[in-house]
Amino acid sequence: MEKKIAAFFDIDGTIARETLIVRHFKKLLNYGIIEQSVWYDKIRPFQDAYSKRYNDYDYYFLALADAYRESITGFNSVFNQFISQQVVEEIGEIVYKYTRSRINFHKENNHYIFFISGSPDFLVKEMALKYEVTEYRGSKYNIDDNDNFNGEIEPMWQSRKKQKEVLKLAEKYNVDLLNSYSYGDTSGDVSMLKLTGNSIAINPTKELVDIIKEDEELKDKAKIIVERKDVIYSLDSSVNILEI
């Protein structure tokens, strides 16, 4: 059987310009499902430090993910589906022009398209439906017998977890990884970038750029794309990073 070409996309920071989990969290705040104090006490300090570039994004994201998991524990997953649909209706097209064009490219060439994201699976599902992709994987937020979130999650933001899912999908769909594509923006996407022959880092974090520059495999094949305002820059691993 002839092998197929596929494209594996992270979502937050790679496709979406706004983090899905942040918009969903704020929607829950607006509905009064989560107390406003949770945002201001547990998340806002980390967000401010990141926004002002005193701390890295990872510090902010991990604080957000922990507070988010705790806050939605006990919340009904059926009602949550309605809110998740609202979130994607609002920001589903606030995306990077480059990655939107790449999704269209892969569709035009009949490639499989997979979304593999650290965002909650119920949000990734709505993005997958919107962009009509082949399959999706996200962080799984488990529910109890009453369809309420029970506080247990199976995260999808670690690189090793994404590697496992890419290999599963490649086997299921008979994917030719050597000629396939992957798109990511953080160190959690390294395994995807290493598994495919065409590896693209979108607006990468410094940590990811450092990994690309030092990894013997990635530094020769990875392309770095930076989209700012109305300009898209294409770089290679020789890019210089200013230390400030």
What value does the mean pLDDT take over residues 93-112? Answer: 97
pTM: 0.93
Helices (H), the chain: 20-30, 36-38, 44-51, 57-72, 77-91, 97-108, 121-131, 159-172, 190-195, 206-214, 218-221
Lowest-pLDDT choice from 109-113, 153-157, 197-201: 153-157
Domains of the chain: 6-235 (3.40.50.1000)
Residue 244 has pLDDT above 70, yes or no: no
DSSP states of 37-72: HHIIIIIHHHHHHHHTTSS-HHHHHHHHHHHHHHHH
What value does the mean pLDDT take over residues 142-164? Answer: 93
- Residue 194 has a pLDDT of 97
Residue 241 has pLDDT above 80, yes or no: no
Residue 242 DSSP SS3: coil
Instruction: Find the length of the chain.
Output: 244
- Residue 97 has a pLDDT of 97
**Closest-CA residue to 104 (of 132, 127, 63):** 132
